[in-house]
Amino acid sequence: MKAVAAVIVVAAVASACSVSGEAVPTPDLSSKAVPSSDFPYGAGQPVPSAQVPGILADITFRPMRGRNDPADCTPAAVDTATAQVRVGPGGPAQGTLTAMVVRATDSFDDFLSEARRCTEFALGGTVGTAVATTVDAADPSAGTVQLERRLRMGPAPSAQDQSAQPPSSSVTEFVAQQGDVRVYVQNRRPGGTALGADELAATRTLFDAARASAFGG
């Protein structure tokens, strides 16, 4: 994933059509997005609306087409229309930092249960990409979790042992949820490089800022 170019965003309340055909307001999350200036290694830039569906697929590991393998490791959908995504440069690991606030269709408990159950799955809609997930720390009472993900190229896990193949990229992921509002902060970098203490702390600080923006406090 590459940092996107800066764009001018006009905050407006989007609208959709109800079953009756009347326009109904769609909740605007722009005020809940973490400020671009809170990114630690350079300003986070808003993702253009045309690119949001693809970026959401990368962040959530829910393919735009098809299902993951196993199928029950396909994450529940999030609301593309109201998602607010910022992407900025990463630190020494030469990756990117992504912060997103979005409306989820499943509970935090369901999200955490899937992360614990789906320790390895193959991404749907791609040519042989396996994702291995480790739950590093979780606080269900606070609705927060830290995940480590390793992506590897190759056949599905059922066809070949993926553990022998080096990761093509790694993701340190923080997630928080209150009600149906969910926050993601991801540090994605090439290879299997672990984050240094300072970069991990900077990623966590961005997550704390994103939580405060989304939930207050």
pLDDT in tens, 78-99: 999 999 999 999 999 999 999 9
pLDDT in tens, 5-41: 333 222 332 333 323 334 444 578 999 999 999 999 9
Q: How far apart are CA 93 and CA 2, in angstroms?
A: 14
- CA 75 to centroid of chain Cα atoms: 11
Q: Which amino acid is at 74?
A: T
Place of tokens 């973490």: 34
pTM of the model: 0.84
Domains in the chain and their CATH numbers? 37-155+166-216 (3.40.1000)
Q: Which two tokens stand for residue 119?
A: 């320790």
